[in-house]
């Protein structure tokens, strides 16, 4: 029996879904599954029992909670598709909206992180899901596979003065050798999950953390990280560097 | 007694969450509204952000028009610094806009509009499911899938990733010249041209003999779009508002506010014209404004469609194919430019010349404009983002209201009304994520 699939979006940019539809394996995915609810391409509105539900987007309105719970009730497994669903995502920058990852309201069976999830990672995970296998994600941070790693010192004690290199300072290819932190540029590699093949870093830009954290206790990771580097006053007061893709967990 | 009935229906096969609200009063439809949920607040959380941080944040407004959002943002920032963007970067930005357009238009054509066209022209009785669609014509499916892949790969090669691009930054575009990549990209565009010719001819074959129902006609509208000395151009040029052959105005993007404006606390865009005028952006406007793609085949293709087609919203579906075809040819020309093989250093962004800046792009769905203001510390103080679909909503509502009233009077079948008006909405290819920015 082909696995029955539901794909829904909550508050999102549709980038995860457009990534999914444009995967090389999407036609194969269609052939090997039975999609029963996917408003982007299908007219059916009813939510029925399914094997796998993929949820894109975060919860930003109460009205979305009902739909999410309805999907949970009908799905054997629910996965958060993308960083919005997994951690809250880019709307974490908003002060006026109360953004929550879907795991705040329902139990989930796994996440597929990234903004959007890297195509290879997403493709591999979808195939595993169709074959009724569990998803696997690396538990390592981006630094562990960074191409600039050779130049990173274990006890780095860096003065960070900016979040991006100036356009004229961007170096590529064989010149792109030095760890950003050593160059005084904030890179979130040390606290971000690997899996993106260091896309930004290879293009001369530091990581902004779109894959989200590895450990659940992100805040204490940030505190550890900040004890290693010193941020300029300007950056200390700048909002939305560390919490660009997730809100800090509030102490109760 | 007045009986008021509110019927709300969820729009499917569109990007994002939209609903149509139909008000029935004494068994007559009094109004129909295409509605979109509340804004996510991008314009407000951009406040306080550093300029070089903005383009990658606004990319997340939309996973279909990410390149347009990012590049419009870069242009607005570059306008503040008054820097000249290197020609190489400009050419590469075009390629990214082309890749985005190919992907976005192809997905819309196949999954969203084609099933409607089959139904409207009674080629099929009920809408095709995605499964029926991929089995309808295996060559079509293969071609469509190749196009989506081509769009994706162009983005990956020149943008660093296929959605939420990494390489476009204020000042230019990060790029390490690679002859191998150029030759791969060339193969992709060549392939796209072949596939598109096949799809365009198929479209002509299947649909050009049919006459689109009157309900899909466009009323008199004002077309708005970017154009470059009457040529099709989605990156450079001036804005133009055209009512007809005799009546048009052209202006620089930075002067837009003499013609339209928005209040970021309210939904919608105000045009400083007679309130009864409706404005349209997107493929139809681009076509009406330029009327010239400078490719002979395209003119031949266009000749298959008479006035009954050219005056209606359904024609946008064909124009989208032509736009992809045109831009694939442009892409090939760009790839031949020697400047792509040079290693360049991007200009530095040091001294801010203006405290505000405007950037405009013709996104796949129409004119997209970003306007930023900074404070004394060069941090964003205010941001205004003009979304194409926001402009089209008034005209969509006009058409669906009229359509619904007539159909309901004739049939009394509200379910049919709900279904039919969605086909109109989908023909406009609304981008709901963008509207809810
Ligand atoms: S994770 Fe990123 S790509 Fe996916 S919906 Fe959120 S903003 Fe869009
Ligand atoms: S380097 Fe960081 S920001 Fe860039 S794609 Fe990877 S995880 Fe995302």
Domain spans in chain B, listed from the N-terminal domain onward: 42-435
Residue B249: band (very low, low, confident or very high) from pLDDT cuts 50, 70, 90:
very high
Is residue A147 within 8 Å of A198, Cβ to Cβ? Answer: yes
Nearest to B52 among A12, A164, A173 (CB): A164
Mean pLDDT of chain B: 93
pLDDT (tens digit per residue) in A193-209: 999 999 999 999 999 99
Distance CA A99, CA A102 (A): 10
Residue B15: predicted pLDDT? 83
Mutate one of B83, B130, B139, B265 to test the A interface: name it (highest A CB count within 10 A).
B130
Tokens, residue A15: 């980038």
**pLDDT greater than 70 at residue A154:** no
CB contact under 8 A, B161 and A43: no
Query: Is the complex ipTM higher than 0.85?
Result: yes
**Whether the predicted pLDDT of A150 surpasses 80:** no
Q: pLDDT: is A6 or A42 the higher one?
A: A6
Q: Which of A207, A201, A38 is nearest to B15 (CA)?
A: A38
Q: Identify the three-state secondary structure at position B240.
A: strand
pLDDT of A82 > 90? The answer is: yes
CB nearest to B134's CB, from A27, A40, A116: A27
Ranges of each domain in chain A: 4-130, 142-243
pLDDT of amino acid B2: 66
Architecture of the A4-130 domain: 3-Layer(aba) Sandwich (3.40)
Give the Cα separation of A56 and A71 in Å (integer): 12
Q: Which of A21, A61, A96 sits opposite B44 (nearest CB)?
A: A96
Q: Do A9 and B111 touch (CB under 8 A)?
A: no
Residue B168 clears pLDDT 90, i.e. is over it? yes
**Choice among A149-163, A233-247, B32-46, B183-197 with the minimum mean pLDDT:** A149-163
Q: What is the pLDDT of residue B36?
A: 87
B10-44 per-position pLDDT tens digit:
888 888 888 889 999 888 899 899 988 888 999 99
Q: Which ligand is nearest to the CA of B59?
A: 1
Using the predicted structure, report yes or no on whether residue A24 has a pLDDT greater than 50: yes
Which DSSP helix (H) or strand (E) runs through A86? Answer: helix A83-87
Residue B38 has what pLDDT? 83
Strand blocks (E) in A72-213: 75-81, 110-112, 158-160
Instruction: Look up residue A79 and give its two tokens.
Output: 């996965």
pLDDT value for A251: 44
- Give the up-direction half-sphere exposure of residue A223: CA atoms within 13 A in the CB hemisphere: 5
Q: How confident is the model at residue A155 (pLDDT cuts 50, 70, 90)?
A: low
CB contact under 8 A, B131 and A40: no
pLDDT of residue B251: 96
Of the candidates A228, A175, A180, the one whose C-alpha atom is nearest the C-alpha of residue A208 is: A180
Strand ranges (E), chain A: 4-9, 34-37, 50-56, 75-81, 110-112, 158-160, 229-231
Phi, psi of B50, deg, nearest 5: -70, 145
In this prediction, residue A221 has a pLDDT band, given cuts at 50, 70 and 90, of confident
Using the Cβ of B181 and the Cβ atoms of chain A, whether some distance falls under 8 Å is answered with: no
CA nearest ligand 1 atom 6, residue: A84
* Whole-number CA gyration radius for chain B: 22
Residue nearest to atom 8 of ligand 2 (CA): A210
Burial of A216 (0-12, 13-18, 19+ CB in 10 A): exposed
- Residue B224 in contact with residue B285, Cβ under 8 Å? yes
Residues of A in contact with B433 (CB under 8 A): 12-14
Distance CA A32, CA A132 (A): 12
Q: Ligand 1 mean position to B63 CA, how many Å?
A: 7
pLDDT of residue B72: 98
Q: Is B116 helix (H, G, I), strand (E, B) or coil?
A: helix
Q: What is the mean pLDDT of residues B373-402?
A: 95
CA of B330: how far to CAs of A30, B80, B91, in Å? 33, 29, 10
- Domain B42-435 bears CATH identifier 1.10.645.10: yes
Q: Mark yes or no for CB contact B149/A22 under 8 Å.
A: yes
Residues B408 and B417 sit within 8 Å (Cβ to Cβ) = yes
**Closest alpha carbon to B344 in A246, A10, A167, A233:** A167
């Amino acid at each position: 029996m082909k696995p029955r699939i539901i794909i829904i979006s909550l508050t999102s940019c549709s980038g995860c879904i457009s990534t999914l539809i444009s995967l090389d394996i999407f036609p194969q995915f269609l052939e090997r599954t039975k999609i029963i609810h996917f408003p982007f391409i299908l007219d059916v509105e009813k939510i029925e029992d399914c094997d796998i539900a993929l949820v894109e987007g975060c919860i930003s309105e109460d009205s979305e909670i009902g739909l999410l719970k309805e999907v949970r009730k009908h799905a054997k497994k629910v996965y958060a598709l993308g960083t919005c669903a997994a951690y809250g995502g880019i709307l974490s920058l908003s002060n006026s909206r109360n953004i929550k990852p879907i795991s705040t309201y329902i139990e989930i069976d796994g996440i597929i992180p990234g903004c959007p999830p890297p195509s290879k990672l997403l493709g591999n995970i979808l195939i595993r899901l169709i074959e009724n296998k569990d998803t696997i994600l690396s538990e390592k941070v981006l630094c562990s596979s960074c191409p600039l790693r050779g130049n990173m010192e274990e006890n780095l004690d860096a003065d960070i003065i900016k979040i991006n290199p100036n356009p004229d300072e961007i170096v590529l290819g064989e010149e792109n050798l030095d760890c950003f932190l050593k160059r005084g540029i904030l890179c979130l590699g040390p606290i971000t999950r690997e899996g993106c093949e260091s896309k930004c870093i290879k293009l001369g830009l530091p990581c902004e953390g779109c894959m989200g954290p590895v450990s659940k206790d992100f805040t204490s990771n940030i505190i550890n990280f900040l004890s290693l580097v010193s941020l300029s006053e300007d950056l200390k007061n700048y909002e939305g560097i560390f919490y660009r893709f997730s809100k800090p967990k509030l102490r109760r | 007694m007045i009986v008021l009935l509110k019927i709300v229906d969820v729009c499917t096969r569109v990007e994002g969450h939209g609903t149509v609200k139909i008000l029935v009063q004494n068994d007559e439809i009094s109004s129909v509204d295409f509605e979109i949920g509340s804004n996510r607040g991008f314009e407000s959380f951009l406040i306080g952000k550093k300029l070089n941080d903005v383009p990658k944040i606004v990319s997340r407004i939309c996973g279909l028009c990410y390149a347009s959002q990012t590049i419009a943002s870069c242009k607005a920032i570059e306008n503040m610094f008054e820097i000249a963007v290197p020609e190489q970067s400009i050419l590469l930005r075009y390629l990214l806009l082309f890749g985005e357009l190919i992907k976005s238009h192809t997905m819309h054509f196949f999954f969203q509009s084609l099933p409607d066209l089959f139904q409207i022209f009674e080629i099929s009785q009920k809408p095709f499911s995605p499964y029926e669609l991929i089995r309808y014509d295996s060559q079509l499916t293969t071609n469509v899938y190749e196009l989506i892949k081509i769009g994706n790969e162009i983005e990956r090669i020149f943008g660093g990733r296929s959605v939420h691009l990494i390489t476009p930054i204020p000042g230019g575009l990060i790029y390490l010249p690679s002859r191998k990549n150029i030759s791969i990209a060339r193969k992709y565009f060549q392939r796209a041209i072949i596939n598109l010719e096949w799809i365009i001819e198929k479209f002509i074959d299947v649909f050009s003999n049919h006459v689109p129902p009157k309900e899909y006609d466009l009323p008199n509208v004002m077309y708005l779009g970017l154009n470059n000395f009457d040529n099709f151009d989605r990156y450079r040029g001036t804005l133009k508002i055209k009512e007809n052959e005799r009546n048009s105005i052209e202006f620089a993007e930075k002067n837009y506010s003499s013609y339209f404006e928005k209040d970021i606390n309210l939904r919608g865009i105000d045009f400083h014209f007679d309130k009864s005028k409706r404005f349209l952006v997107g493929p139809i406007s681009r076509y009406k404004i330029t009327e010239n793609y400078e490719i002979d085949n395209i003119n031949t293709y266009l000749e298959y469609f008479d006035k009954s087609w050219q005056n209606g919203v359904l024609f946008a579906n064909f124009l989208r194919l032509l736009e992809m075809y045109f831009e694939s040819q442009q892409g090939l020309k760009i790839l031949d430019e020697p400047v792509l093989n040079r290693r360049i250093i991007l200009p530095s962004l040091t001294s801010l010349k203006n405290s505000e800046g405007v950037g405009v792009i013709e996104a796949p769905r129409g004119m997209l404009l970003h306007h930023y203001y900074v404070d004394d510390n060069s941090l964003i103080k205010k941001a205004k983002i003009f979304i194409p679909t926001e402009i089209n909503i008034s005209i969509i509502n006009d058409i669906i209201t009229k359509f619904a009233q007539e159909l309901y009077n004739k049939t009394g079948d509200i379910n049919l009304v709900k279904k039919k008006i969605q086909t109109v909405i989908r023909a406009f290819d609304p981008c709901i994520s963008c509207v809810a920015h």
